[in-house]
Every structure is written in C-alpha cells, then in structure tokens.
C-alpha cells in the first residue's frame, strides 16, 4: 500500500491501463491511508469510501472490457470543499452549509470524473476560502504535512496536505490570492495557478471581473499537466474560457531540451521588505540551476506597486456583496476573521472599487511589458516557510526571529499580483529550511503560456532531487 500511495498519477495511469494495478486496489490503499492519517492531519471535511469503491469497481470493469480509458482512469482524487460535487456534501468550510449537498458538479470536477478520476473526499478550507491559514469552526485546524506545529497554509491547505501525505496523488484546489501556491509551497508540492479562462470557473459569481481560479494540486509537474489537460477547455459558463482550446500539456511537461535562448527575470523580494535566509539561499541556488539549464538571467529592478490595498478593495467588496446578509443573520456562527474582513469594506464605494480595477489594468500592462523582453519571472513563492499552527491572520509574522509586519503583505507578496493580472504562476519545491520544512520557487510566465511554464518547471524539477523526500508520518 505504501508503494501505491507514493506513485504519481502519471505512473499509475500507465500501470492501470496495462492491468498491472487495479483501480480497486489503489482506491482501497488511498482510503486506508486517509483513515489512518486523518486523525493526525485533519485534512478532510468529508470522505466517501462507499462511492469511491463503487466507482473503482466500475473503472476496473471498463478496463477488463477493453473500453476506451480517459486521462485519469482509475485515479483517486479529492476536491477542495469549495468545489461543488454532485451528491457529495460541499460545506465551503462553513457551519451554515454543514449539510449542503449540491445537485451538480462544478465543471472542473465533472471533467476530472469524465477523464476517469475517482472522487474519494473533500479537503479542508477556511470558511469560503477567505484566508491563507486552513482552520475554521466546522472542522478545526489542518496541520502541515511536515510538522504538526506548523500551519498547512491556505486556503487549499487540505488539498496540499493530502497529496503531500500520499492520500491520493492529485487534488482539485482553488487560488484567489495564492491559495493553491502558498500551501503547495509550504508542503513541498506543485501548485499551478493558470491563466484566466484556461480552466473554466463555473461557480464564480463575477465571471467577468474574476481573479479566482480552480486549479490542480499535485506532487509532480507531469501530474499537474495531466490535471490541466483534463480540466482545460472552453465552457459556456466562463466567458474568459470561450475560444481557448488547450494545447498538448503532457508534451509540454516533459523534461526535454534545455532553457537556452530563454530570458528569465528574477527578484528575491518583488518589493517585499524581508526574506528568510534559508528562502533566499534556496532561491539563489535555483538561479544557479536555471543558468546551468542554459537560461539568461536578468535581475528585475522595477518594483511592483503595493497592490495590497487594491486587492483588498476588489476582494473584500466582493465578499461584502456575497456575505453581508449572511453575516447579519448568522455572523455569530461564522469565522471572526471573515466577518472582520467583510466589515473593512463598509466604507468603500463603487468608485473605490472601479479605481482598484483601474490599478488592476495598470499592473497587467506593467507585467506584459516585462514579458516583451523576457520569457519568465522567477521569485520565491513565500518569504518564509510554514508559519506556526496557531498563527492569527491579523497578527504580525516573524522572519528569522524578527517581526516582519502583517501576514498578507509580508508572507505572500509574490502570489497575489498574478491573481490580479491573470498570468500563469507555478510553485515548485526548491529545498528545505534548517527545520526540514519545504521552501519553494515561483515561475511566472506569459499570459496563457502554461506550456512554457510547465516545460521550465519540468526541467528544473529534473535537475534536483527534492521529490525523493517524503514527510515522516
């Protein structure tokens, strides 16, 4: 069972198709590992073993009958509990939706199932995905896969921890300001936030002004490509997706060739004030690797404007529109940090929102300017490794023992800008700190050029041996 739960989806799909691994055997192994580790990690809100075993038997029957197999045939997957799953409880991490059971799948979940994926559970999220720490009144705290004393990150904390612990090789996550890349980074996983529209987002309330993304969560770059291939493509529910036909992401994710002729901008800070010594050292070593792969590296001297205020106006007014009436009725049953952030939007006007959207356009054009002469931008994913398990969203964080300021502005200034601009950004492990906690590199690419980002990440992944490490559970 241990061997099965340590295999990537890319290997599993080949062995399943060759009848060397049974989908039933694999699903049983994943469910057994989930049952064993859930009391320790607390990364699931709901598990559906009976449904998963029935789907696994159907998948095995299809193989034995010689039927055509999808990209993810027989592969167990979990979906973040913000993602609608037909007939399976979807709580949004909220006591108010504790017994909510959607009638339909979100497009992303429907496509993973259509590709043969087997849903076995729903992973934890802070209430409505509102912060970068995964805890809430419905389920408590989710622990980091590498340390019970540290946060899993968020808001896709459960998705990252489950994959990191070998509880299923892949998961569906979401990213509204770094919610995939942050937990991927601090749990040693691969987290991609693709460009706007590449994977349709059928649940987002404001489809036109969208800055949130439904994403893959995996251990390897090839598994990210597999999930992207399965979920990508136009859908009528998402105007950004219309007319966007997916290329061959699997071919793009092969570690073939090199980075000769590619120009990479790099920034260790991206305007941030403090970066942990271990994070900076790992970043500098990553630059060495990228040079060895043939890339030309140029330091980015232009600083991003501080967009935290604009992001807050866009994000918190969206939340006010969605949750204000809910808070008036049931705020005493909701997470205080969500209630407090919605309250921050009380004095912002429609003009304030529109000015923030103007800033969004300015930032997009600035980043587009960078990519006129460069192929990629690389940064750390977060300024330090996992925060303590009891970190509060509104308390300052420390970096190397020194107070660095408020969490959002100082821990993940690298991720949020690319939710606003829509450019693809991928987080990949690039080392471990002195405590053995994962560190990560972020690779940002040209708008809708996920293929190049996948290739660069695959080449980097192959140049290192970080995948050999597993958390001691």
Q: Which of 80, 113, 131, 193 is catalytic?
A: 80
Rounded to whole angstroms, the Cα distance separating 352 from 60 reads: 55
For 7, phi then psi, to 5°, come to -85, 135
Cis omega (within 30 of 0) for bond into 255 = no
The number of residues in the chain equals 473
> Which CATH number among 3.30.1330.10, 3.40.640.10, 3.20.20.10, 3.90.1300.10 corresponds to the domain 2-468?
3.90.1300.10
**Which run of H or E residues covers position 395?**
none
Contacts of 460 (CB under 8 A, 6+ apart): 286, 289, 290, 293, 428, 430, 441, 443
Identify the CA nearest to 224 among candidates 174, 189, 195, 255. 189
Answer yes or no: 94 catalytic.
no
Look up the pTM and report it: 0.98
Q: Which residues contact 338 (CB under 8 A, 6 or more apart)?
A: 126, 127, 128, 130, 131, 319, 323
The residue assigned the tokens 């209630």 is: 339
| pLDDT string in tens for the chain (473-residue length) | 458 999 999 999 999 999 999 999 999 999 999 999 999 999 999 999 999 999 999 999 999 999 999 999 999 999 999 999 999 999 999 999 999 999 999 999 999 999 999 999 999 999 999 999 999 999 999 999 999 999 999 999 999 999 999 999 999 999 999 999 999 999 999 999 999 999 999 999 999 999 999 999 999 999 999 999 999 999 999 999 999 999 999 999 999 999 999 999 999 999 888 999 999 999 999 999 999 999 999 999 988 887 888 999 999 999 999 999 999 999 999 999 999 999 999 999 999 999 999 999 999 999 999 999 999 999 999 999 999 999 999 999 999 999 999 999 999 999 999 999 999 999 999 999 999 999 999 999 999 999 999 999 999 999 999 999 999 99
Q: Is the CB of residue 449 less than 8 Å from the CB of residue 425?
A: no
Structure token digits, residue 376: 């990629």
Q: Which residue has the tokens 């009638």?
A: 103
Is 20 one of the catalytic residues?
no
Helix, strand or coil, per DSSP, at residue 88:
strand
Cα 337 to Cα 174: distance, rounded to the nearest angstrom: 19
CA distance 216 to 119: 14
Query: Which one, of 252, 224, 178, lies nearest residue 410 by Cα?
Result: 178
pLDDT at 304: 83
Which alpha helices (H) appear in 194-304, and where do they start and end?
221-231, 249-252, 277-292
Report the alpha-carbon distance of residue 266 to residue 284 in Å, rounded.
10
Catalytic: 155?
A: yes
Of the chain, the end-to-end C-alpha distance in Å amounts to: 15
Residue 404, pLDDT score: 97
Task: List Cβ<8 Å contacts ≥24 apart for 17-21.
Answer: 17/63, 17/69, 17/73, 19/63, 21/74
pLDDT confidence of residue 2? 56
Q: What is the pLDDT at residue 423?
A: 98
CB 110 within 8 A of CB 120: no
Choosing from 22, 152, 155, 156, the catalytic residue is 155
At residue 198, the 3 state secondary structure works out as: coil
Catalytic residue (one of 179, 195, 241, 337): 179
Give residue 307's pLDDT: 80
């Amino acid at each position: 069972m241990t061997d099965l739960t340590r295999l990537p989806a890319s290997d599993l799909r080949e062995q399943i198709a060759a009848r060397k691994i049974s989908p039933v055997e694999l699903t049983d192994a994943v469910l057994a590992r989930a049952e064993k580790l859930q009391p320790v990690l607390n990364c699931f809100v709901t598990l559906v073993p009976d449904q998963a075993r029935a789907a696994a038997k159907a998948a095995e029957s299809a193989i034995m009958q010689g039927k055509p197999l999808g990209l993810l045939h027989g592969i167990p997957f979990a979906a973040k509990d913000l993602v609608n799953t037909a007939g399976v409880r979807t709580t949004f991490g909220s006591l108010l939706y504790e017994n909510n059971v959607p009638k339909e799948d979100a497009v992303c979940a429907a496509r993973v199932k259509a590709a043969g994926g087997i849903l076995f559970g729903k992973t934890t999220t802070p209430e409505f995905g509102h912060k970068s720490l995964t805890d809430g009144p419905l389920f408590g705290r989710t622990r980091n896969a590498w340390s019970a004393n540290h946060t899993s990150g968020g808001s896709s904390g459960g998705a990252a921890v489950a994959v990191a612990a070998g509880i299923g090789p892949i998961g569906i996550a979401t990213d509204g300001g770094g919610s995939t890349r942050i937990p991927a980074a601090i749990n040693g996983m691969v987290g991609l936030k693709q460009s706007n529209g590449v994977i349709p987002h059928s649940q987002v309330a404001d489809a036109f002004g969208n800055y949130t993304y439904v994403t893959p969560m995996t251990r390897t770059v090839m598994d990210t490509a597999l999930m992207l291939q399965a979920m990508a493509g136009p859908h009528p529910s998402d105007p950004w997706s219309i007319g966007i036909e997916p290329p061959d992401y699997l071919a793009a994710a092969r570690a073939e060739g090199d980075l000769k002729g590619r120009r990479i901008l790099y920034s260790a800070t991206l305007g941030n004030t403090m970066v942990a010594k271990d994070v900076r050292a790992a970043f500098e070593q990553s630059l060495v690797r990228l040079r060895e792969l043939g890339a030309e590296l140029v330091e980015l001297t232009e600083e991003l404007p501080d967009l935290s205020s604009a992001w807050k106006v866009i994000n918190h007014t969206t939340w006010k529109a969605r949750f204000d009436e809910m808070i008036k009725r049931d705020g005493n049953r909701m997470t205080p940090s969500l209630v407090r952030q919605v309250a921050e939007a009380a004095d912002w006007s429609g003009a304030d929102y529109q000015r923030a959207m103007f800033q969004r356009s300015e930032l997009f054009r600035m980043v587009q300017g960078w990519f006129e002469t460069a192929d990629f931008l690389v940064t750390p994913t977060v300024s330090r490794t996992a925060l303590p398990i009891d970190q509060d969203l509104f308390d300052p964080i420390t970096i190397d023992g020194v107070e660095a300021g408020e969490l959002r502005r100082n821990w993940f200034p690298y991720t949020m800008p690319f939710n606003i601009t829509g450019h693809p950004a991928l987080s990949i492990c690039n080392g471990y700190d002195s405590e053995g906690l994962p560190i990560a590199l972020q690779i940002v690419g040209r708008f809708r050029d996920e293929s190049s980002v996948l290739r660069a990440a695959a080449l980097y992944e192959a140049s290192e041996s970080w995948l050999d490490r597993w958390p001691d559970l």
